[in-house]
Each structure stands twice: as C-alpha cells, then as structure tokens.
Amino acid sequence: MSGFARSLLRPGGYRSIPYAVLGAVLAVPVAPFAVPWALLTGEGRSRALLAVLALAALLGLLGLTGPVRRFGVAVANGLLGTDLPAPGRARPAWPDRLRSGAWLVLHSGLGGLLLVVDAVLALGVLSPAMWLNGDQAEFTFFGAKAVAGPWMLPVALVMLVLALLVTAAATRAFQAGATALLGPSTTERTALAERRSAVLAQRNRLARELHDSIGHTLTTSTIQAAAAAELVEADPAQVRRALGTIEEASRSALEDLDHVLGLLREEPATKEPTRTLAEVDVLAVRAREAGLDVRLAVTGPVAALPAAVSREGYRIVQEGLTNALRHAGPGTVDVRVEAGPDRLGIAVVNALPGDGPRTGRRGLAGLAERVEALRGELDAGPDGGQWRLSATIPLRAAA
C-alpha cells in the first residue's frame, strides 16, 4: 500500500483541514486593507481580481518578518506533523524572508480554496437528506435536470470519497510546501550543523572529564578500600590514612561531577575545578597510598605553563597512574614532567601486567583527542617489557 493510500486510513492524513482554517483566518486581519483599495480603484469584475492581488501582496509583505517565519514553522510542526528545525533568533536573510512570504500567501490561498472545495463536496454528501425527507426538488446535474431520488445515494458516496481524497492530497501538498519554503536554507543548515557539532564536542569533553576524574577516583578508592580491609586489625593507622585518601579523592571527584552536571542541565555552573600540573604531587601521593611506588621527577617552570596545557598535562598523568593501578597493580611507576621553553613533555612508565597489554583504550582515546586539540602528540604502548605513556605538547601553538 502506498504512502498516500495509507494516509487515507490515518486521522493524520486530514491535518490539512485545521491548517487550512488557520490560513483563512490569517487573511482576515489583512482583508480590510485590501478590499477598500480594490473598491476604489477597480471597476466591475476587475475589483475581485484586484482585491485578491492586494490581499496576496499584503500577506507576502507580512511574511517577510522574522516572527511570522518562526510562527509558520511552529504551526507547520504542530498541525501538519512536519519536523522543521526552529529558525534561530538572528535576522533571517532576504531569500529566507521571500520564501516565508510566498508560503504565507500559498497557505492562505490554498487553505481557502480547500475549504471551498470541501464545502461543495459536503453539500453533495448531505444532499440525500432532502430525498429521505420526501423533498422532490429538481437539480441540474452536469447539464441535465434530475429530481431528487435514490440516485443521490451513490453520488453522495462518490462525493465523500472525493472529499477524503482531496483533503488527504492537500495534507501531503501542505507538508511538501512547508518543508520546501519554511525549511532551513543552506546557510541555516550549515549553522545547525555547527551547533550540533559544538554540542557533540561539548558532550565528548564532558565524557572525558567524567572518565578521567571518576575513573581515577574509583580505581584509587577500590584499591585503598581493599587494602584497608586487610589491615583493619593489624595496622589501624594505615587504615585511617587509606580512608583519608578515599575521602579526599571522593570530595575532588564530587566537585568535578557537580560541575559536569551543571553544564548538562544548562544551569549556572559552579566554579570549574582547576586541576593543573602544579598539583601533580597530590596525584603521586594518592597513588603511593594506593600501593604504587611512584618516582616523580618534575623539571622546568611548571607553574608558568599555559592554563590549557597544564590542565591537560594533569589529566595525562592522572590517566597514566590510573591505568598502572588498574592493569599492572602495585609496583614502580616512573613519572617525568619536563616543562621546556617551547614544549611540555610527559612520560609515565610502569611494568607490563603479567598477561601483557590489556584492552579497553577509551581513556587513551580521550587523551589522544585532548593532545591533538593542542597540536601535540601522544604515544602509548609496550616498550621493552614496560608500558610507556608519553605526550609532547608544543607551547607556542597552545599559548
């Protein structure tokens, strides 16, 4: 069954009726300005034509305004079931104004025509009522005179079918016309694509933030909790230190989570947590308390690094330590941070796990995106029986 045939069986196929009524109503406030002009300037039959032309011209001018375009899109989506994107608040370009003006004229004109045709067909559908009431009135039917009788029943059925077909066809025509004339232009589609791209980029950034912060905290807290459970009786002091580390890491993760949730809700966000390489020693302390033997070496003016570079450098070290905890377990980890005059170099090296490299490189993929955004390079993989995570970020390009 074709789409048009299916539309005859669905109530949505007859959306053109309320849409046509609205089109006719929209012409009412404009008509008082068009009809008097036609009566004053026209003669005889030309007055009707002048009135129609004046009405169309005034509707077209009204349709050039931005609010009317936004209203037209909203009405088409609501009454016709289209899925047109809402126009932005910026002033529409003139080609878009002309398209919306043309659509307002067609909306009112075709809407009024549909209502007239359906009204005529409705009279045909209701005509058998006169015969059923015993009325013997004569009709002129296609040039031939006929008296009301049983023949009106099949004619009424044909009229009903025609009314349904015309209304369903008008719905499809309105939907196609609204999509063509009220739909986004090339410029608007480009702007929509840019907005979607920005939203996706924001979501990816938030996903990376959550992965880095929450993932690191959960890994550290899990290992600390397991160690505390084993030492709860033998070394209470160590247990207290482990619980303190878990509390501090959890508080930091909650700050990150609160910030990310504020962005997702589009609420006034709390101050964005600033994690920079100036706090890399805090990461090292937490990792040591979780069982890693972290050997940290920091050289160069780390505190003078650009904010963006310093934040991403912190995340790189955090991801390296988290992966070492998760995959290699307790052991030695060498962390080297070198802040030079024109580049930042970071390396995190730890022993490979007993069964070789593990899968699950989502965190590394996020790091690669961060480093590429700063025009840097990231490398991660086995290196002579060890796992090496290294990154180089140019400072001049990132400043």
Closest C-alpha to 350, from 381, 304, 313: 381
- Per-residue pLDDT band for 355 (boundaries 50, 70, 90) equals low
Q: Is the pLDDT of residue 123 over 60?
A: yes
- Per-residue pLDDT band for 52 (boundaries 50, 70, 90) equals confident
Q: What is the pLDDT of residues 171-226, one digit of tens each?
A: 999 999 999 898 887 777 777 777 777 667 766 766 666 666 666 666 667 766 77
B/e letters for 39-60, b = 16+ CB within 10 Å, e = fewer, are eeebeeeebeebbeebbbebbb
Distance (Å, rounded) from C-alpha 114 to C-alpha 32?
Answer: 22
Q: Is the pLDDT of residue 359 over 50?
A: no
SS3 60: helix
**Number of neighbouring beta carbons within 10 Å of residue 156:** 19
Question: Which domains occur in the chain, in start order?
Answer: 3-184 (no CATH), 192-398 (3.30.565.10)
What is the pLDDT, as a whole number, of residue 44?
62
Distance (Å, rounded) from C-alpha 318 to C-alpha 204?
Answer: 18
Q: Is the pLDDT of residue 1 over 90?
A: no
Average pLDDT over residues 108-117: 91
146: phi then psi, degrees, rounded to nearest 5? -145, 150
What is the pLDDT, as a whole number, of residue 171?
92
What is the pLDDT, as a whole number, of residue 296?
93
Q: What separation in angstroms does the CA of 84 have from each of 3, 187, 219? A: 20, 15, 46
